[in-house]
Structure 1
């Protein structure tokens, strides 16, 4: 029985609070904290049992430390903004509390998704006898565990890895992002990048496009090559991988809106002066776009996220496809949130559960693929993200 502090009350925080509240045998006491306490109170009112709420500025380490000392959690589940990861890790070190998150640190001043800042905390956490678990969302997270599971059970060696993220849901709005607009747009407008033969290959944004026939009735969708942070950790921890790529679906309307917004400067991250005030265009755009948490009741359709892995076993080459499909409306009925938040929030709860149960508990800073995948995979089936696996006849080109 454990005491957890969840930091972040957006769409993912809402799902994490719901799922933790459902597993009372592990999460005995739950506190949900955010810069805006009213958001926490709104989520708390939805839950089947009582949780505590608090206000905290996750950019302010002394404020975080004060709250942690008051709550006395065994673990902090960080689902705040990626810019705040290091502040929360610092507060954990100061107070002697375990840490986990769903997305790697990103400096506010540049769109750069790298683990180096958090990996640099390895020795500090190890010496403190504390664990920091990085990237326990879906991608990164489940896709990373899928890779570890495939290597453990199906392959002697992995040759190529393709992660395919499809959102076939439709919310009926002209333009909206399914998670934090600032993070989402920064990710998509950055150059593409993939790993091949021991080095990174850079592409222009949306330069590489394929069509893939997704399972469970989703059908053919356009997918585009992006850089995604799990490629960095997976190629580090599975150095035999010769090529690793990440693909995501986008509709024509979404891409056209994004192109116009870029052309007029609304996706910029450098401050501009307007009527005597410094304004970051993408942060202003975020305020104009629909709140991702509001998309739940509107979104219909499915997500499908998974890995196509080509490798060898006993000298024979095989092509393996492992994936999860999730229905937006089913997610909304359970936790009042759409599937994008659900597919990140459920693995966050499971990662926390792995740590608190001692199945994943090791001092230092670790990515999820460095842990035993089997108990996590079992819990995916148990807590709302069942996975399917199949063998393919031909490789994904």
Structure 2
């Protein structure tokens, strides 16, 4: 089985910059809807004051994301990547649209029924995230590291963009009647439009880029079974060599072997996100006290986290600043746990300036370490193994997030919730 491209290596570099832009947009779409839900937490706190929405919605989201990615990672070698990613982006679009319909149908009222509906949508976001994030990271692991970096930067940019939009909508609607609701509806309208854009980008533009066709063709020649539909969408047909296609999967390292060879990367990713999500967004939204910024305080903290997370994901582009040593990555990852006592004592005794600084460090280190690990780990493997390893690392990432949002409830001990 083989694929043929004209001009060989010349095609490889054609359109690389444009492909990076598309990867950035697709990364943005992977979390734009979910970050929109997180960023309007003040609206949901207003609607559901007794249900801890910033914590509950995240806790609902994660089991669906983790369960879905576990199944998808186990079967990744036989899954049509194109169908998987399009399913994820379409589900993001439909779930975002459902939030608007739910709010309009209930005229912006709260109550347990509406909250359950919002939780169902949160679970749908989790399923969509597992499809897209694991599918895209696995797919881009077949290609050059710059594509993964752009996709991961897009993930962080979704948080920064939604935070900026939330600050703008809060300022615009703060003094208007029903201002919180108007801001929230604007958010989900933008989110729905952007997710639809991502569906079209992935379906019609991305598979036809020459550099993408090159890498997918290369992966297919190495035995990848997941790229056939994307290659067909890109206009590349299998060559007819008269031989029967072997339905068996090609020889490659098993998922267990890949995991054991990269267990330090897997543990590092898990620890990065268990720490981050034990603090962000629940602790920052509910447990940092009252300060002079008033109702703007939690929004500013979330915005600072997202902005510095985005900055951190671009630092590895400077080769001299990129951390590649596996031991150093583990040491730096473990050192981040010093932030837990730092946040605790700052929330208890410090002022808002110190809290903003710590939140910035949390975001910067999260973004930087994520890119360093996910761009370094797939090197040295063939296409099918790179795809599998990308899925495994995303599964560890989501497991860390799930553990983090669960541990986040420990901050409430002794507060009479």
TM range (shorter): under 0.3
Larger Rg: 1 or 2? 2
Q: Give the TM-score of the pair, scaled to structure 1.
A: 0.25
Q: Give the TM-score of the pair, scaled to structure 2.
A: 0.24
Structure number with higher relative contact order (C-alpha < 8 Å, ≥ 6 residues apart)? 2
